[in-house]
Amino acid sequence: VSLEAGILQPLDMEQFNSAPAADTVDQQLLPIAEAAPSSEPPDPKTCSPREYLEFYIFPVLLPGLAELLHEAEKEKCFEVRRTKFIASDFLTEWLYNKNPKRKDESFTEFYSIPFVKDWLKDHPRPPIPLSLLLSEEEASTIIQSFWRGYRIRCDSEIQELRQWQKKLREEKHINKVVKQFWTKQEAK
């Protein structure tokens, strides 16, 4: 997209696709504005919807969508069915930070954007499931530790020890003894 020329140029689809395109797939190009003056953009209040989109919306939105696709590829959205990546959040954050009115301000994270804070106060989101937050290594560690614990608890000697501890707790009222101990300690 050429901002200097004031018109949309054909879009190079290879910048959006990381894999080489197949010969049978035709690349689609955005139409070039036909009767557009090259020096000044049309008046946003009187121009047609198409001109408004081509001159004011697409030059801002298309680079954001390109970044969105790159980020989605980094987050492996095209490989996995479910991910923690929320495309609308990324695009909102990107557009907010690339706003020319904010060019001298520092980067703002999505949840720190004022209108996002206000919206989320009234419309809180459910928490992201732990399965989406953990990396594969962290998830495998948790699963393996659970499995090891389960296998150990199945051992007959461990079962015997656990039964003995349960019986001891019931007979000696261990919970009451521990509570009394800590009451004495706090009194000191």
Final residue of a structural domain among 128, 155, 172: 128
Neighbours of 13 (CB within 10 A): 14
Least confident of 29-43, 67-81, 111-125: 29-43
> What does the alpha-carbon distance between residue 116 and residue 107 come to, in Å, rounded to a whole number?
15
13 in a structural domain: no
Q: To which residue do tokens 């001159």 refer? A: 55
Q: Does 35 or 180 have the greater pLDDT score?
A: 180
63 in a structural domain: yes
Q: What is the mean pLDDT of residues 29-48?
A: 65
Report residue 149 CA to chain centroid gap: 33
Host domain of residue 59: 49-128
Does residue 5 carry a pLDDT above 90?
no
Per-residue model confidence (pLDDT) at position 38: 53
29 in a structural domain: no
Per-residue model confidence (pLDDT) at position 76: 87
